[in-house]
């Protein structure tokens, strides 16, 4: 057991509820799209174990990994309608529902994973969580941040190397427009088709965190990995408000407390997985480089106005972010 988990569990002893405080048993179904070896699963397993322990077994959490409850957009819609209890997802899956979340897909918004975690778990990140209840959602906390670099079948050492390159991207304006600004050809392809697309040259590169390169076994389809802070993709643990409201107050309090602890467990595991990913890539012969980011930053930030076109109060959010950075 990690030191973080030990400390969290020790701190939890004072919040355990006596069995007499619980008049019935409770159940929560939690979904996510990653594997059972992911940071998502680690965080949700902690949540399940701690909720059971602190309620003397009266709270049961069922975890559905690998899209067992559907893809991320379906999880969001299910949470809004109350047909899905809870889930952990990547932030871009909220963009079509809540435009303000597009801000977090701006290229080079954060300088590092550590900065993204610190700012999102503070007052800046809370501004986004505050947008969720109007959609029948409650954010239990920001979880692991996926620091996405560029796995490719050839080196990417300069901006010129990206010109004309076919890059697989997710269907998010922040990602599509970023690679347009960088001079490449953004190519939306289903994640399940990415391995074959890289092998056959349908695309030349993609943007993924190192742990996803390993879990997707992409080391057999790429030769290079360029490290940069292009996108720090945060994940978020969410419960349907209607489900949350069905619990008595003492259970609600526990869900909020344990939920935030669980997101910290996910953050620690995501950091471990990304570090291990770089080690595994190096051992597999993947050439890992860290190009100077200056030229990439200048080009990518040209996409900001396009990405923010329909985002309410975007300037206010960005001003708040700059103030939060200075206060660090």
Identify the CATH number of the domain in which residue 262 sits. Answer: 3.40.190.170
User: In this predicted model, what pLDDT tens digit does every residue of 48-96 receive, in sequence order?
Assistant: 999 999 999 999 999 999 999 999 999 999 999 999 999 999 999 999 9
Whether residue 233 lies inside any domain: the answer is: yes
Calculated CA dihedral for residues 77, 81, 82, 84, nearest 10 degrees: -20
Residue 154 lies in a domain: yes
327 domain-assigned: no
Q: What is the pLDDT of residue 20?
A: 47
Q: Is residue 316 assigned to a domain?
A: no
Domain count, the chain: 1
- Asked whether residue 217 is domain-assigned, the answer is yes
Q: What confidence score (pLDDT) does residue 171 get? A: 87
In a domain, 104, yes or no: yes
Closest CA to 145 of 182, 192, 112, 176: 112
Closest CA to 234 of 145, 115, 108: 145
Q: Residue 148: which domain range?
A: 3-310
For residues 280 and 75, the answer to whether their CB atoms sit within 8 Å is no
Q: Is residue 56 part of a domain?
A: yes
Report residue 277 as tokens: 């990913």
10 has pLDDT over 80 = no
pTM here is 0.92
pLDDT tens for 27-52 read: 999 999 999 999 999 999 999 999 99
Specify if 71 maps to a domain: yes
């Amino acid at each position: 057991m990690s030191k973080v988990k030990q400390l969290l569990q020790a701190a939890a002893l004072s919040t355990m509820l006596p069995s007499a405080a619980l008049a019935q048993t409770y159940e929560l179904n939690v979904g996510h799209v990653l594997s059972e070896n992911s940071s998502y699963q680690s965080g949700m397993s902690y949540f399940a174990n701690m909720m059971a322990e602190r309620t003397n077994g009266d709270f049961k959490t069922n975890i559905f990994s690998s899209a067992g409850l559907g893809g991320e957009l379906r999880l969001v819609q299910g949470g809004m309608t109350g047909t899905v209890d809870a889930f952990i997802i990547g932030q871009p899956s909220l963009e079509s529902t809540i435009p303000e979340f597009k801000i977090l897909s701006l290229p080079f918004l954060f300088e590092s994973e550590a900065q993204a975690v610190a700012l999102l778990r503070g007052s800046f990140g809370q501004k986004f969580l505050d947008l969720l209840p109007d959609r029948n959602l409650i954010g239990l906390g920001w979880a692991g941040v996926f620091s996405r670099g560029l796995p490719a079948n050839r080196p990417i050492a300069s901006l010129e190397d990206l010109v004309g390159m076919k890059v697989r991207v997710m269907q998010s304006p922040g990602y599509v427009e970023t690679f347009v600004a960088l001079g490449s050809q953004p190519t939306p392809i289903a994640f399940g088709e990415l391995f074959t697309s890289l092998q056959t040259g349908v695309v030349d590169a993609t943007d993924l965190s190192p742990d996803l390169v390993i879990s997707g076994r992409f080391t057999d389809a790429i030769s290079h990995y360029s490290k940069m802070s292009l996108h720090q993709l945060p994940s978020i643990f969410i419960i349907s408000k209607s489900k949350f409201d069905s619990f008595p107050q003492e259970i609600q309090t526990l869900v909020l407390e344990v939920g935030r602890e669980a997101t910290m467990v996910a953050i620690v595991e995501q950091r471990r997985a990304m570090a291990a990913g770089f080690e595994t890539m190096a051992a597999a012969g993947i050439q890992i480089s860290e190009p100077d980011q200056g030229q990439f930053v200048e080009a990518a930030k040209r996409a900001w106005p396009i990405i923010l076109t329909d985002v309410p109060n975007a300037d206010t959010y960005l001003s708040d972010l700059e103030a939060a950075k200075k206060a660090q």
